[in-house]
Amino acid sequence: MPFYVKQGEIPGKRHITFYKEDGELYREELFSTHGFSNIYSNKYHHNMPTKSLAMESFSIDHGQAWSDALVQNYKLDSRLADSEGNFFTARNKQFYNQDLAIYTARVTTDTEQFYRNAYADEVVFVHEGEGTLYSEYGTLEIKRWDYLVIPRGPPISLNSTAMPMSGYW
């Protein structure tokens, strides 16, 4: 059974015309990563949703599989391998398998564009620093020791102040 979270003003029923006080129509958008067979969001926009001026694929190389790895504990100082850059270019792969990829990053520059991960959910742990995550669901202030759970699909942008992070993508 789905649960509903209401934020702001919404119509009494879904998928009907919904007008602002001035008589102008709100623009409805149905957002889901699995069509009508999973959880979805009904979003009502004051204006038409923005048009993408350009779209480009962003490939993250998982490298070669370590097929004969020993099953044992490993201790890593990920700071030694952290690369610098924005939320996307600073990612440094540590481990992965068919279900999960673990990256570290030292975010040192702001992200200038919005990014949409249509492939996977992202969980990010912020080791230190602070920043702001922007999405169409709102603005989220980030600080040390925060976990960010970013579902696949919505466009996001991150502005930061020297934020070492580890994440699961």
Q: Given this model, what pLDDT does residue 166 score? A: 56
Q: Given this model, what pLDDT does residue 22 score? A: 93
Q: Given this model, what pLDDT does residue 24 score? A: 92
Q: Where are the beta strands (DSSP E) in the chain?
A: 27-32, 40-45, 84-85, 92-96, 101-107, 122-126, 130-135, 138-142, 147-150, 156-161, 163-168
Report the C-alpha gap between 114 and 49 in whole angstroms.
14
Residues in the chain: 169
Between the alpha carbon of residue 158 and those of residues 61, 87, 110, 119, the distances in Å are 22, 7, 6, 19
As a whole-number percent, the residues of the chain with pLDDT over 90 amount to: 4
Confidence of residue 169 (pLDDT cuts 50, 70, 90): very low
Q: Given this model, what pLDDT does residue 53 score? A: 76
Domains plus CATH for the chain? 1-50 (no CATH), 78-168 (2.60.120.10)
pLDDT digits (tens, 9 = 90+) for 33-78: 777 777 777 888 888 877 777 777 766 665 666 677 677 887 777 7
124 neighbors 167 (Cβ within 8 angstroms)? yes
Confidence of residue 163 (pLDDT cuts 50, 70, 90): low
Q: Given this model, what pLDDT does residue 167 score? A: 54
Report which of 153, 147, 120, 118 is spatially closest to residue 135, judged by C-alpha positions. 153
144 neighbors 166 (Cβ within 8 angstroms)? no
pTM of the model as a whole: 0.64
Report the C-alpha gap between 136 and 43 in whole angstroms.
9
Q: Given this model, what pLDDT does residue 23 score? A: 92
pLDDT digits (tens, 9 = 90+) for 97-128: 777 788 888 888 887 777 777 778 888 888 88
pLDDT digits (tens, 9 = 90+) for 29-42: 887 777 777 777 78
